[in-house]
Amino acid sequence: MKFPISTLTVLATISSVLWAQAPKGDAKNGQKLFENYGCYQCHGHVGQGGAGARIAPKPIPWAAFSRYVRQPADQMPPYTAKVVPDRELADIYAYLETIPAPPPAKSVPLLNNQ
Amino acid sequence: MAKSRTNSVGRRGFLKGAAAGAAAMVANVPEAVAQQPQPARGAPVPSAGAIAAETGDVSTHVEVLTADHPGSDYMVDVLKSLGFEYIAANPGSSFRALHESLINYGGNKSPELLTCCHEESSVAMADGYAKVEGRPMAVMAHSTVGLQHASMAIYNAYAGRVPVFILLGNTIDAAARRPGVEWYHSAQDAAAMVRDYTKWDDLPISLTHFGESAVRAYKFAMTPPGGPVVIVADSDLQETPVPDKTKLHVPKLTPASPPAGDPVAVAQVAKMLVAAENPVIMADRAIRSEAGWKLLVELAETLQAPVVSGKFPTQHPLSQGGGRLVANADVILGLEVPDLWGTINNYRDQLERSSRSLIKPGTKVVSISAEDLFMKSNYQDFQRYTEVDVAIAADAEATLPSLVEACKRLITADRRRALDDRGKKLAAAHAQGLEQARTQATYAWDASPISTARLAAELWDVVKGKDWAMVGGGGSRLWNIDTHYRIMGGGGAAGVGYGAPASVGGALAHRKHGRLCVAIQNDGDLMYAPGVLWTAAHHKIPLLSVMHNNRAYHQEVMHIQRMANRHQRGITNAAIGTTITDPNIDYATVARGLGVHGEGPISNPNDLGPALRRALATVEKGEPALVDVVTQPR
């Protein structure tokens, strides 16, 4: 059976979105894992970045996040499922999603005193 | 007590007939008698040798036991002629005569002796001092144990091309050495240990030789590329009296003008730069003076070209981040860039190491560097070979005047308009970059441990409006670095333990100008030789040290994480051997114990500003202070 291209595209998009949705994680456990697994060493205790990139607030979509952790494109060491199982990775992601946005730069006097 | 040097006395021949004395009489006492056991308690009973010395026949000879003009006085004359302000040392018997001549004959002035607790501190202080002052500090050390302590700091200075003038106490004449320690503290080729990472060394065997070699060494140390030099000050030369001072001459120092680029090559580079659509300037180590700072600004403004590294005003619209600009560049001008390959290539540290170019095919790369004039082979500080299109073997700062003029001559009115248009776009990008830096600083603003961005912002609030200088670590892009001496730079070879002593040396150089010196002090670095805090207190060197206390050798934590991940063993053990916890070190207490005002540990960001201001009050009174800030890893 043949489908029109537009139908295929829609199905693929729906499939991609479903697959890309983050599994429900335990943010509290994720915070603990974020510390125990040393994620903070490069990304900071609240994901603000440091030696590694900023990853919170508003982390990149789950699909890209989980793919990068397993197969990093640049300098980040790979965290395989043997080291961080999928369930725990979902918990870490859930923690990153809970990190609140910072105050606007204009509202911080110390950042506007040059 | 003067040494009995019968052989050297005979060798020099001016104390004839005066060598036999009490020491010789003691030496003649039979060993079995001399080693009689002492009573366990009470006043010691004089030995048989001592009794014999006191009661034996009185010699008709009068032994010469004093000297009016030791060779070390002449050495001080030479050091004074070279204009040293300071000489740093942990005291050592192999240079005891020079030490005494410095403080008495020399009046402990120009140079003034700095008491150091470790030779690594002495040399690293001299390194920091030279970066600020533009000329070397002298250092004294034992030729063996002292130099061994100093060697890492010497390597840092070598890799950083920093002039440091090192004097080694040593006794080359084996027959003139006291038994025991003086042998351990002597070497037949003392400088051999550091020859691979010093620019020049010598072992003078006469005072005239010493004078000429000291002046030559100073000149070499200062001629770009600079570097540490070593002169062995033989103890016999130091301690033997000078028979006729009038026969000694202090040689004149004539500094060599730094090598400037060949005019033809400079004209070629100017043509490339003026024609370039997207030139980028990297000025890593190029600037060492106010004049150089102004010339770099003039070059950038003439070309309306971005400067992505090195000393350049941070608030200038042409001050830019590298990244995208480097990727789009058609001409890259590298001025004293020690790792040019590493700036135009990405190197991926995974199981299979790989690299990729960060620049477009066809991008022209120009290097102007004195590195091409001097290189040694063993230590690999010269980095990977870089393929460039034009290489000018010359000092970049000395070449800037001719390069600026050559560029100006080539710019037509039409070209000027095009360059100015480029400048406007860069100015907009600069403003955008500052806004991004502000926004980035807001992340983790209220976090504990304290973010490094918050630390930098709080510290800037303390120094802004003052004549400040950063003598350790960097501030942030938001700091207004508006003159060349605001930033000192780091250790040349990334040897940990450099930061604390270098900051003290840098602050010492700034002291006479009344500048407020601040340093971001890493915890692991301080623990190598924290005694330098005492040196700062003792010599009243005002310095505000602010701890970046992440309680770890953080770089190494990340390396172990990388290995553990690569081996799929989990990373929960990465803290073993890499962190500085259990117990946490109380650096404020350490500082107070060494005579330095201490604040902290501070984990709440809201407590940081007040602590910095309390510490500042001490620093402004002319003393050092330390604020221990518990920070995020980076």
Closest among B97, B104, B404, B123 to B236, alpha carbons compared: B97
Question: Which residue among B350, B444, B461 sits closest to A44, beta carbon to beta carbon?
Answer: B444
pLDDT given at position B613:
98
For B325-336, letters b (16+ CB in 10 Å) and e give bbeebbbbbbbb
Interchain pair A46, B444: CB under 8 A: yes
Is B561's Cβ below 8 Å from some Cβ in A?
Answer: yes
**Are residues B150 and B105 in contact, defined by beta-carbon separation less than 8 angstroms?**
no
| End-to-end CA gap in chain B | 54
Q: Which residues of A touch B571 (CB under 8 A)?
A: 37-38, 83
Residue A42 contacts B where some CB pair is shorter than 8 Å: yes
Task: Return the biggest CA–CA distance within chain B.
Answer: 101
Q: Is residue A114 in a domain?
A: no
What's the confidence (pLDDT) of residue B61?
86
Q: Which residue of B has its CA nearest to A85?
A: B570
Mutate which: B358, B438, B468, vs A, most A CBs within 10 A: B438
Residue B335: phi and psi, rounded to 5, are: -110, 110
Type of residue numbered B22: A
Q: Which pLDDT score is estimated for B51?
A: 65
Closest-CA residue to B94 (of B211, B173, B157): B173
B438 touches chain A (CB under 8 A): yes
Q: Answer for the pair B89, B114: CB distance below 8 angstroms, yes or no.
A: yes
**β-strand B279-283 against B228-234: which pairing, if any?**
unpaired
CA B77, B81, B87, B93: dihedral to nearest 10 degrees?
Answer: -20
On whether residue A18 sits in a domain, the answer given is no
End-to-end CA distance of chain A: 67
- Could you tell me if A113 lies within 8 Å of chain B, comparing CB atoms? yes
What pLDDT is attached to residue B363?
98
Structural domain contains residue A16: no
In a domain, A78, yes or no: yes
pLDDT attached to residue A22 = 81
Token pair belonging to B5: 């040097």
Which residue of chain B comes nearest to A71, CA vs CA? B350
Using the structure block, give the residue that is written with the tokens 């090195």: B310
Q: Is A79 on the interface with B (CB under 8 A)?
A: yes
Interface with B, mutate which of A41, A54, A71, A92 (most B CBs under 10 A):
A41
- Residue A46 within a domain: yes
**Cβ atoms within 10 Å, residue B147:** 25
Instruction: Locate the chain B residue with the closest alpha carbon to A40.
Output: B633
Question: Do A77 and B565 count as a contact with CB atoms less than 8 A apart?
Answer: yes
Residue A32 lies in a domain: yes
* B244 backbone φψ class: left, alpha, beta (φ>0; ψ -120 to 50): beta
Q: Is A8 buried (19+), middle (13-18) or exposed (0-12) by CB count in 10 A?
A: exposed
Contact B634 A50 (CB under 8 A): yes
- Residues of B within 8 A of A42 (CB-CB) are 558, 633-634
Edge-to-edge strands, sheet with B364-369: B307-310, B279-283, B331-335, B364-369, B390-393
DSSP state of B105: I
Question: Which of B443, B433, B452 shows the shortest CA–CA distance to A57?
Answer: B443
pLDDT, one tens digit per residue, over B374-421 is 999 999 999 999 999 999 999 999 999 999 999 999 999 999 999 999
Q: Which two tokens stand for residue B351?
A: 């199981």
Structural domains of chain B in order of their starting residue, each with its CATH number: 71-247 (3.40.50.970), 263-434 (3.40.50.1220), 443-630 (3.40.50.970)
Classify residue B319 by its DSSP letter. Answer: B
d(CA B601, CA B580): 14
Spatial separation of the C-alpha atoms in residues B300 and B306, rounded to whole Å: 7
- Write the DSSP string, B217-235: HHHHHHSSS--EEEEEEEH
B435-464 burial: b if 16+ Cβ within 10 Å, else e = eebbebbbbbbebbbbbbbbbbbbbbbbbe
**pLDDT recorded at residue B170:** 98
User: What is the least distance, in Å, from the CA of A48 to any CA of chain B?
Assistant: 5
- The CATH number covering residue A51 comes to 1.10.760
pLDDT score, position B10: 37
B585 contact partners, CB below 8 Å, separation of at least 6: B523, B527, B549, B551
Question: Is B438 in contact with A40 (Cβ distance < 8 A)?
Answer: no
In 10 A of CB B31, how many CB atoms? 6
CB contact at 8 A, B299 and B334: no
- Region for residue B41 given its phi and psi (left: phi exceeds 0; alpha: psi -120 to 50; beta: otherwise): beta
Q: Which residue in B346, B347, B350, B555 has the most chain A C-beta atoms within 10 A of its own C-beta, making it the best mutation to test that interface?
A: B350
B345 and chain A: CB distance < 8 Å anywhere?
A: no
* Interval A36-64: pLDDT, tens: 999 999 999 999 999 999 999 999 999 99
Residue in A42, A48, A105 nearest the CB of B451 = A48
Query: pLDDT digit string (tens) for A64-103?
Result: 999 999 999 999 999 999 999 999 999 999 999 999 999 9
Residues of A with Cβ-Cβ distance to B613 under 8 angstroms: none
Q: How far apart are CA B32 and CA B44, in angstroms?
A: 18
Return the bridge partners of B393, or none. B369
Closest Cα of chain A to B437: distance in Å? 9
Question: What pLDDT score was predicted for residue B23?
Answer: 37
DSSP 8-state class, residue B94: G
B404 touches A: beta carbon within 8 Å? no
d(CA B171, CA B182): 7
CB B64 within 8 A of CB B90: no
Helices B290-303, B396-410: inter-axial angle, 10-degree rounding: 30
Is the CB of residue B299 less than 8 Å from the CB of residue B318?
Answer: no
Cβ pair B561:A41 closer than 8 A: yes
Question: Residues 6 or more apart from B567 whose CB is under 8 A from it?
Answer: none
CB contact under 8 A, A110 and B460: yes
Six token digits for residue B521: 């002090």
Phi then psi for residue B493, to 5 deg, are -115, 15
- For residue A80, the enclosing domain spans 26-101
- Decide if B445 and A50 are in contact by the 8 Å CB cutoff: no
Query: Does some domain include residue A17?
Result: no
Q: Does B567 touch chain A (CB under 8 A)?
A: no
So what's the pLDDT on residue B454? Answer: 97
d(CA B361, CA B325): 15
Helix axes B452-463, B605-619, angle to 10 degrees: 40
Is residue A61 situated within a structural domain?
Answer: yes
Mutation site for A-interface testing, chosen from B355, B446, B562, B565 by largest number of A Cβ within 10 Å:
B565
pLDDT band at A113 (very low <50, low <70, confident <90, very high): confident
Helix or strand holding residue B416 (H, E): helix B413-442
In A7-26, the residues whose Cβ lies within 8 Å of chain B are none
The parts of chain B modelled with pLDDT lower than 70 are 1-59
Count: domains in chain A: 1
Q: Which residues pair with B521 in a beta bridge?
A: B547
Q: Measured between CB atoms, which of B439, B464, B570 is closest to A105?
A: B439
Whether B443 sits inside 8 A of A82 (CB atoms) is no
Out of B438, B444, B565, the one facing A79 most closely (by C-beta) is B565
| A44 near B CB under 8 A | yes
Q: pLDDT at position B41, please?
A: 46
Interface contact A111-B442, CB threshold 8 A:
yes
Neighbours of B30 (CB within 10 A): 9
The CA-based angle B471-A46-B630, given to 5 degrees, is 40
By C-alpha distance, which of B334, B290, B273 is closest to B309? B334
Structure tokens at B463: 């120094």
Question: What pLDDT, on the 0 to 100 scale, is given for residue A5?
Answer: 46
The residue of B348, B442, B466, B608 whose CB has the most chain A CBs within 10 angstroms, and thus the best one to mutate to test that interface, is B442
Spatial contact of B394 and B262, defined as CB atoms under 8 Å apart: yes
